Structure 1
Amino acid sequence: MVMEKAHVIGIDPGRRKYGIAVMTATGRPVLRRVVPVESFDSVFSHLLREYRPQVVVVGDRTSAEQCLEQLQNLIRVVDYPVQIETVSEHRSSEEGRRRYLIEHRKGWRRLVPLGLQWPKEPYDDYVAEVLVLRYLQEDTASEDM
């Protein structure tokens, strides 16, 4: 069994909470979490030390500038240089919502069309996962050229 060691952390920044997803470089989810903005520094510092990502991917819309500034400071404090990339968030919330609903489809929810369902909890972590997958697709596409 081959151990996947390369990780990518995705962040969906928001005004009150951040969605975070840690994924392997092949796109396999390792961890998902939604954290309040106030807790982001400690959570991210811990994830940076634990997973040693090659890249941190950040959505380019709501609170992106604030998040990027926070990341630069944290990376300096933790003293772990990591590449930071921004990715388009266009329709990522819809994709994240769909991924969440598919994964949590149990019982009667399997009978109701996804478009008529709404998540019971925040799904920003699934949006962060979508951002990582977009980055990995772009990265693969640029390598193929």
Structure 2
Amino acid sequence: MDEPMELYLGVDPGRDKTGAALVWENGRIFKQEILPTDDFSRHLQQFLPEQPLAGCILGDGTTSKTMAAQLEKDFPQLPLFTVNEYGSTQEAKKLYWQLHPPKGWKRLLPTALLDAPSAVDGLAAVVLVQRYLRDKTIK
């Protein structure tokens, strides 16, 4: 029988909106969403699954210190890891196009020239977890 996989929470904090993602330890996305930064913990409660999480991966950019303090206060049992979020939005845009390949004439253009039709903060949170998992297996 397969061993159950661990689930990680990714948080890409921003001033007005924060990306949140749940990612399996193999890097596959369970779900991702963009939540309001105001009262983030309350919104996060509704986003989280019933099962326990292996850890929270937090981007080190905008409002990171404030978000870390809030997460440590509201979820003290959840291990918190901070990762460098430099370039995560660009990576999230690439991931968007992998998950939703362009159609019609847009498929003829390099995806780097295309704008994702929606905000990618949730996918940026996915990228942060995937970076953490990749770095964790390298060490």
Q: Same fold (TM over 0.5)?
A: yes
Q: Determine the C-alpha separation between the residues in 2 that align with 1:123 and 1:49.
A: 21
Which shifted more, 16-25 or 103-112? 103-112
The question of whether the paired residues in 1 share the 8 Å contact of 2:9 and 2:57 is answered with yes
Decide which moves more: 96-105 or 29-38. Answer: 96-105
Query: Could you say which residue in structure 2 is the equivalent of 1:106?
Result: 102
Contact 1:12–1:124 (8 Å) recurs in 2: yes
Instruction: Assess if the C-alpha contact under 8 Å between 2:36 and 2:43 holds in 1.
Output: no
Could you list the runs of 5+ residues in structure 2 that have no partner in the other structure? none
Partners of 1:111 and 1:4 in 2: CA distance: 41
Larger CA deviation: 127-136 vs 39-48: 39-48
1:22-101 alignment, distance < 5 Å: 22-48=22-48, 50-76=50-76, 81-101=77-97
Distance 2:36 2:91 in 1: 22
Q: Secondary structure at the match of 2:23?
A: strand
Question: Structure 1 residue 132 and structure 2 residue 136: aligned?
Answer: no
- What's the TM-score, normalizing by structure 2? 0.90
Q: Give the TM-score normalised by the residue count of structure 1.
A: 0.86
CA distance in 2, matches of 1:106, 1:39: 35
Change (3 A) 1:110 1:51: farther
**Runs of 4+ with >4 A deviation:** none
* Greater helix proportion: 1
How far has the Cα of 1:49 moved from its partner? 5.6
CA shift digits 1:30-83 (9 cap, x unpaired): 01101111252123224456231111000001110111011012114xxxx111
Q: How many residues align?
A: 138
Rounded Cα–Cα distance in structure 1 between residues aligned with 2:78 and 2:69? 14
Name the structure 2 match of 1:117.
Answer: 114
CA contact (8 A) 1:11 1:18 kept: yes
Distance 2:32 2:3 in 1: 20
Alpha-carbon distance between aligned partners in 2 of 1:94 and 1:103, rounded to the nearest angstrom: 14
Kept in 2: contact 1:45–1:74 (CA 8 A):
no
Q: SS of 1:30's equivalent?
A: strand
Identity %: 29
